[in-house]
Structure 1
């Protein structure tokens, strides 16, 4: 009886360790280009972004309103970073701040924090992300 219980417990542990994580895995899109939302005026060129290059991060680090279950929304979707005005660009609801704020949930903020911690970090200068328009 004890041997059967032990075998069942080990089998359950193995199922939990190997099968459950795949149920919650998110298939992130591949490389993409980040552009300002339709109707907004772009002052810099679009940014090439690699989800695969950020695969080690928790998705909720950037997608900070995601509950881990629903579909992940874009920053420019309703209720997130929808303000595209130049006047409100430092506000938390601005599209600009989603990528440039000093908080570590933005691209620039995270890259600077990693650089400060002496870890491999992404670009922190404008021209490194926004190549000159040709």
Structure 2
């Protein structure tokens, strides 16, 4: 009886140690990604090859870019519904501004200009086809 109880406790401890953290952890993003406009929205330039792993290593905190992330669960991408899914460049939460707003240190271009490193011109991110 004691052996069965002990075995059950060990199994329960192992399940808690290995399975539970995976339930609350965010899905690991690929090291390299291709950024495209949300479905139904047209991009005038080519999609952008994005080294997510490099940015993740530099910034450490997901909330720098993913400002709606609450620390657990999956991290939503910029083009997710309710985030930067507005087509008009004039909209505050437009898909375009998420990457090109020079005044925002959270946008790609704004951060690159503020840090004085990384690509800053159209052709640096959007290669010709």
TM-score relative to the length of structure 1: 0.70
Aligned position for 2:128 = 132
Paired residues in the alignment total 103
8 Å Cα contact 1:31-1:49 kept in structure 2: yes
Unpaired stretches in structure 1, ≥5 consecutive residues: 1-22, 116-120
8 Å Cα contact 1:75-1:95 kept in structure 2: yes
Aligned position for 2:69 = 66
Instruction: Work out whether 1:123 is the aligned partner of 2:127.
Output: no
Q: CA–CA distance in 1 between the matches of 2:126 and 2:33?
A: 14
TM-score relative to the length of structure 2: 0.73
Aligned position for 2:79 = 76
Unpaired stretches in structure 2, ≥5 consecutive residues: 1-20
Aligned position for 1:5 = none
Q: Which has the higher contact order (CA 8 A, sep 6+)?
A: 2
For residues 29-63 of structure 1, what are the alpha-carbon distances to aligned partners after superposition, in whole Å with 9 as ceiling and x for unaligned? 22011011121111000000011111221211110
8 Å Cα contact 2:25-2:72 kept in structure 1: no
Secondary structure of the residue aligned to 2:118 is coil
Deviation for aligned residue 1:90: 3.2
